[in-house]
Structure 1
Amino acid sequence: MRIHGAVVDEQTRCIHYHSALDVIAIKFACCGDYYPCHLCHEEAAGHPARTWPVAAFDTPAVLCGVCDSELTIAEYLGVDDCPRCGAFFNPGCRLHSHLYFAQA
């Protein structure tokens, strides 16, 4: 899976978010491309971001950078770690979820 933006390692960390827990990439609804974060998309995509509507929450749109599994939006929003490999996700990402996903 190709990850766009300022990626710094194979687990999808980027220059903006690179802690041990920053191991997801998000497929943006506007372009269908994976980016590590909203800032990477803003800097590299060349178009404004669009959030995923609630009706599309069954879409695989979150990539675990540890095991390369795709999670649906609903699945990702309901967990603190990857259901496939157990890698913990950064709980601070919830503060930015409105930038990626419509609020239910």
Structure 2
Amino acid sequence: MDVHGHTVRGVEVGPETRCRHYDSELDVIAIRFPCCGTFYPCYECHLSAADHEPGRWGPADGDAPAVLCGICGSVLTVDEYLACDDHCPECNAEFNPSCRRHYARYFSPALFEEGN
């Protein structure tokens, strides 16, 4: 699926990055996995569509363009996404705050240790 000029792979991906696994009104991001450089709406989509295990962003990856806003097409860095308070800094679209429960699937726990 093409979303604002970016290819987003997964299961039943919609035009704002929603997928079969996460399709609420607030599920409007896709994460570029560092293992393959491909955007997926979620970890489950990566497991379903990729031929390798998912990788996670680490402490040295703060400036990496990693998260696509499905509303406006902005690509946020790891640091921008983790600091955005569940809103796109470009268009102010609201992101699902429940995604925080799954951060360890996408980001190394070292990113959340004190001092980072």
Is 1:59 the counterpart of 2:53? The answer is: no
Residue of 65, 73, 81 corresponding to 2:87: 81
Residue of 46, 49, 52 corresponding to 2:51: 46
Is 1:30 the counterpart of 2:35? The answer is: yes
Q: CA RMSD in A?
A: 0.8
Contact map agreement 2:27 2:96 (CA 8 A) in 1: yes
* Distance in 2 (alpha carbons) for counterparts of 1:40 and 1:8: 9
- Between structure 1 and structure 2, the one with the greater Rg is 2
Structure 2 equivalent of residue 90 of structure 1: 96
Letter of the 2:75 counterpart = E
Secondary structure at 2:30 match in 1: strand
Give aligned pairs, total: 104
Pair 1:8–1:33, CA change in 2 (3 A): closer
Structure 2-normalised TM-score? Answer: 0.87
* Distance in 1 (alpha carbons) for counterparts of 2:13 and 2:24: 11
Give aligned-pair identity as a percent. 53
Unaligned runs of at least 5 residues, structure 1: none
Provide runs of 4+ in structure 1 moved above 4 Å. Answer: none
Letter of the 2:106 counterpart = Y
* Distance in 1 (alpha carbons) for counterparts of 2:64 and 2:14: 25
